[in-house]
Chain A
Amino acid sequence: MAGDALMDFNKALELYEPVLGFEVHVELNTATKMFSSAPNPANEANHDAAPNTLVAPVDMGLPGALPVVNAEAVVSSIKLGLALGCSIAESSSFARKNYFYPDLGKNYQISQFDEPIAFEGSVQVELSDGTLVDIPIERAHMEEDAGKLTHVGGSTGRIQGADHSLVDYNRAGVPLVEIVTKPIFGAEHQAPELAKAYVATIRDIVLSLGISEARLERGNLRCDANVSLRPRGQEKLGTRTETKNVNSMRSVERAVRYEIQRQAAILAAGGTIIQETRHWHEDTGETSPGRPKSDADDYRYFPEPDLVPVAPSRQQVEELRASLPEAPVARRRRLKTEWGFTDLEFQDVANGGIVAEVEATIAAGASPAAARKWWTGEIARLANAQEREIADMVTPANVAALQALVDAGTLTDKLARQVLEGVIAGEGTPQEVVDARGLAVVSDDGALIAAIDEALASQPDVLAKIRDGKVQAAGAVIGAVMKAMKGQADAARVRELVLERAAQA
């Protein structure tokens, strides 16, 4: 695709200091939209609706329609603002951001401009080596999402070369909180990792608040990453690029790394960075240029006349503050102790961005060790192989159910891995997969004894050896029996029975 020249990452860091900034959009999971009573597709209950079936007049910009603010979306936004250490505005107002685009029914987005609901905060992020970094938050504001475009014709479903596009307004009006950081200095070599850790922390926060489904694959959480470089020793900030809509934590890390290497190559060659939006391409691992900033970016913000200010009482703010769950870093420290993990074991979980998943799996009944084993082991391996977000692979409840089947002796570890694949492939709960695939351990001694007697009868020499006390010879019989049982037997029980039958034969 782009084929940009890239500088070696370490070399780039020698010459330049990276400065980061993030805009993360969080889709709230309220029952209804930001400004209409239509069901919210960012709520799990409405996820799979047919196009243009979750729209009220205002979501489509129909003539005469008016917005009304969702009270619960405001509560969620205040909670999020507080969790980000922000001040909550005494009075906060909406504004119109005017631009034409077919996914925007009114051709303006109702957003917040000079009076955001939350401002001036800070959130602590922990890197894999245990370093704590404070990310300065400039603001968190409420706004509405746009609809979805599908590009038809052309080769890749991308905008370029498409013959026409289809618009679905279901997503239009989904409540969003946009979290904007201040410039982040000093991340240095850890800049790409910091990007990933920041998004993971935001995800942890919104999950612990219960205000978003937080599924990156579905776009519940979307990150725009700003990257600029400045030569070592220079005061003035460099020109930044904004890589839009990076939809997985892995990609955020890769995109930041890529931009550092790309910009460094340009600067070192005496070139200049263009202030522009860039697009991340998951397939090639590159960014490509988008729209340069121009005077067409004149959004003509003005106060939204159809909505009145949101002025949360100090009492309400304090009540919400008191209801907040603990901060992610504190929570991690507590969980590590509770679960009895070593530093290394906990880092595995934390760096995998699966603290919430492990916690939920334990809450659903699995032991900490088993939960960690599944998430950092087989599930992580499959997510990696399938290039999917790990949290979207399987629910914690299903992982706990799977482990329960192992604990009950219904499944061996090997069978359990097969069942997991079935669950991930969408075949149902672990029990349903066991039933459908007929994968349960054969626990009927009668069937095992019949197979053992047959194997002993066909291998008289082995039988003789066992009787002579050469117990290790039993392995051949056990292998034959396991084969006959298609692996669905508990090897330890088979061994017990083999020795028993050999003694009696």
Chain B
Amino acid sequence: MSEITPDLVRHLGVLARIQLTDEEVERLTGQLDVIVDNIAKVSEVATPDVAATSHPIPLENVFRPDVPQAPLTQQQALQNAPEAEDGRFVVTAILGEEQ
């Protein structure tokens, strides 16, 4: 059995910024428990001597010359905005502080 609990799922919901109902927390707890039991087997073969692969095809030093290209226009930038004011995006009050 894995360690998935309703409290953990609720915490993950906060980290992922998804408001979860109690019913969803309960359902997800059960489902994640089963899924995690099934995928935890990766640790069976992931011994310390095996290197991790983050990129399927290894490349390095891919750069862009420092030459400006036309940016989006302000109109393009704002065209999908749920709400805009003075050329900027509007969000409701912010409680927490920046990181």
A and B in contact, CB less than 8 Å: yes
Chain B nearest CB from A319 CB (Å) reads 15
Chain A nearest CB from B41 CB (Å) reads 21
Report yes or no: A159 in contact with B77, Cβ–Cβ below 8 A.
Answer: no
Contact partner, A71, options B54, B60, B64, Cβ 8 Å: B64
Report yes or no: B97 in contact with A291, Cβ–Cβ below 8 A.
Answer: yes
Report yes or no: A32 in contact with B63, Cβ–Cβ below 8 A.
Answer: no
Given contacts A71-B65, A71-B66, contact A159 B88 (CB under 8 A): no
Please provide the chain A residues from 73 to 102 with a CB less than 8 Å away from any CB of chain B in the complex: 73-74, 91, 99-102
Please indicate the chain A residues that have their CB under 8 angstroms from the CB of B87 in the complex.
50-53, 168
Report yes or no: B94 in contact with A151, Cβ–Cβ below 8 A.
Answer: yes
B96 at the interface (CB under 8 A from A): yes
Report yes or no: A303 in contact with B54, Cβ–Cβ below 8 A.
Answer: yes
Task: Give the dominant DSSP class at B's interface.
Answer: loop
Q: Contacting chain A: which of B10-18, B23-31, B32-40, B42-50?
A: B10-18
Interface size on B, residues (CB 8 A): 38
Please indicate the chain A residues that have their CB under 8 angstroms from the CB of B92 in the complex.
164-165
Chain A nearest CB from B37 CB (Å) reads 22
Contact partner, B63, options A53, A70, A162, A277, Cβ 8 Å: A70
B51 at the interface (CB under 8 A from A): no
Report yes or no: B15 in contact with A296, Cβ–Cβ below 8 A.
Answer: yes
Which of B11, B14, B62, B71 has the most chain A CB atoms closer than 10 A to its own CB?
Answer: B71
Given contacts A163-B93, A277-B97, A291-B96, contact A57 B65 (CB under 8 A): no
Please indicate the chain B residues that have their CB under 8 angstroms from the CB of A168 in the complex.
87-88
B1 at the interface (CB under 8 A from A): no
Please indicate the chain A residues that have their CB under 8 angstroms from the CB of B74 in the complex.
50-53
Given contacts A101-B99, A151-B94, A310-B60, contact A52 B66 (CB under 8 A): no
B61 at the interface (CB under 8 A from A): yes
Report yes or no: A71 in contact with B97, Cβ–Cβ below 8 A.
Answer: no
Complex: A52 Cα to B67 Cα, angstroms: 19
Complex: A56 Cα to B70 Cα, angstroms: 8
| Closest chain B residue, CB of each to CB of A150 | B88
Which of B54, B62, B93 has the most chain A CB atoms closer than 10 A to its own CB?
Answer: B93
Report yes or no: A53 in contact with B71, Cβ–Cβ below 8 A.
Answer: yes
Report yes or no: B93 in contact with A55, Cβ–Cβ below 8 A.
Answer: no
Which of B11, B78, B88, B93 has the most chain A CB atoms closer than 10 A to its own CB?
Answer: B88
Please provide the chain B residues from 51 to 99 with a CB less than 8 Å away from any CB of chain A in the complex: 54-55, 58-69, 71-74, 77-78, 85-94, 96-99
Complex: A100 Cα to B97 Cα, angstroms: 11
Chain B nearest CB from A383 CB (Å) reads 29
Report yes or no: B97 in contact with A32, Cβ–Cβ below 8 A.
Answer: no
Complex: A307 Cα to B58 Cα, angstroms: 11
Interface size on A, residues (CB 8 A): 59
Chain B nearest CB from A312 CB (Å) reads 8
Given contacts A50-B87, A53-B73, A55-B77, contact A69 B64 (CB under 8 A): yes
0/1 per residue, A91-124, Cβ < 8 Å to B? 1000000011111000000000000000000000
Report yes or no: B71 in contact with A290, Cβ–Cβ below 8 A.
Answer: no
Please provide the chain A residues from 23 to 60 with a CB less than 8 Å away from any CB of chain B in the complex: 30-32, 37-39, 50-57, 60
Contact partner, B97, options A56, A163, A290, A302, Cβ 8 Å: A290
Please indicate the chain A residues that have their CB under 8 angstroms from the CB of B64 in the complex.
32, 37, 68-71
A295 at the interface (CB under 8 A from B): yes
Contact partner, B67, options A37, A54, A159, A311, Cβ 8 Å: A37
Report yes or no: B66 in contact with A30, Cβ–Cβ below 8 A.
Answer: yes
Report yes or no: A166 in contact with B71, Cβ–Cβ below 8 A.
Answer: no
Report yes or no: A73 in contact with B88, Cβ–Cβ below 8 A.
Answer: no
Report yes or no: B71 in contact with A54, Cβ–Cβ below 8 A.
Answer: yes
Report yes or no: A305 in contact with B88, Cβ–Cβ below 8 A.
Answer: no
Chain A nearest CB from B95 CB (Å) reads 8
A298 at the interface (CB under 8 A from B): yes
Which of A30, A39, A52, A150 has the most chain B CB atoms closer than 10 A to its own CB?
Answer: A52
A377 at the interface (CB under 8 A from B): no
Given contacts A52-B78, A277-B97, A305-B55, contact A167 B72 (CB under 8 A): no
Chain B nearest CB from A417 CB (Å) reads 40
Report yes or no: A51 in contact with B86, Cβ–Cβ below 8 A.
Answer: yes
Chain A nearest CB from B23 CB (Å) reads 24
Complex: A42 Cα to B81 Cα, angstroms: 25
Report yes or no: B62 in contact with A69, Cβ–Cβ below 8 A.
Answer: yes
Contact partner, B17, options A37, A100, A166, Cβ 8 Å: A100
Report yes or no: B68 in contact with A165, Cβ–Cβ below 8 A.
Answer: no
A72 at the interface (CB under 8 A from B): yes
Q: List 15 A-B contacts (CB under 8 A).
A: A37-B67, A37-B71, A50-B74, A51-B74, A55-B77, A91-B60, A149-B94, A165-B93, A166-B90, A166-B91, A291-B96, A291-B97, A296-B14, A308-B59, A311-B61
Question: Which residues of B does A touch, CB under 8 Å?
Answer: 11, 14-15, 17, 54-55, 58-69, 71-74, 77-78, 85-94, 96-99
- Beyond A38-B71, A72-B65, A100-B17: 10 further Cβ-contacts under 8 Å? A30-B66, A31-B68, A37-B67, A39-B71, A55-B72, A71-B64, A72-B66, A164-B91, A164-B93, A291-B96
